Amino acid sequence: MTETLPLIALTAPLHSSSYDAAYGADIGRLAALAMAGIEAAGGRALLLDASGSSLQEHAVELVDIESVDGVLVLGGGDVDPALYGSTGHLSINGVDRRADDLELALIDAARNAGRPVFAICRGTQLLNVAFGGTLIEDLGSDSFHKDHSPAEDMVEHEVLVVPGTRLRTILGSGTATVMSSHHQAVNELGDGLIVSALAEDGIVEAIEVPEVAGGEWIVGVQWHPEENRTPAGQLEALLGAFVQESRTRSRLRATAVAPSTTSA
């Protein structure tokens, strides 16, 4: 019998009214690259639109978490500062509170159902907020984490991967060259999370739940591994580990509910 490939739900605010046309197109482009990466890693991709738009084809609130094997939260605009107890900052833009609420609920549902969660950029910030953490609302105009020119292109920089973390095992190296574009970052770490990568300026570049046998598989990176200028093999390593964990846990669930073949 042919094994069913693990189903991965990817979510992003694809048609948010708070985005201009160019930014919305870039969100869609990155989502398509992430979907292709999931499929290349041996998964099935289900793209969900978390935005408060009538254009959405799949509302996040309609997804049945029991039918999903893993959840990938993608990038987008800034998280509503009210969700982490802030009154905001002049630089904050692209907020879509409906998307925030839906994706926070999806993260909670995935955790309660024991589904692996992988997060990218805004997804990582939202992940930290889901665990009770806060965000740095603006890294400043001299930050090397984004392109401050009108082009707002991705920038390349190095991150230091913390020894003993799940991320270090996945990437197999103490350093990584990454592509990023963010003006916010993790501030106070959420309960139960650890830092798994840092930039040279001390900014948190990745977070995760510590690896414990049978525990949660939750990893978030602040950069964009799905960006097509990312060094070869990085996206494959990250999504490969995520999809494999989703597949393994799916098999364990199937074994647990399989009817007994023994007779009384």
Cite the DSSP H helix spans in the chain. Answer: 21-40, 97-112, 122-130, 166-171, 234-257
CA distance 264 to 259: 13
Considering the candidates 103, 205, 226, 227, report the single residue annotated as catalytic: 226
CA distance 121 to 73: 9
Catalytic residue check, 224: yes
Considering the candidates 15, 121, 137, 205, report the single residue annotated as catalytic: 121
Tokens of 137: 């609302």
CA distance 208 to 210: 6
Considering the candidates 15, 145, 183, 224, report the single residue annotated as catalytic: 224
Catalytic residue check, 226: yes
Query: What is the three-state SS of 33-101?
Result: HHHHHHHHCCCEEEEEECCCCCCCCCEHHHCCHHHCCEEEECCCCCCCHHHHCCCCCCCCCCCCHHHHH
Q: Which residues are catalytically annotated?
A: 121, 224, 226
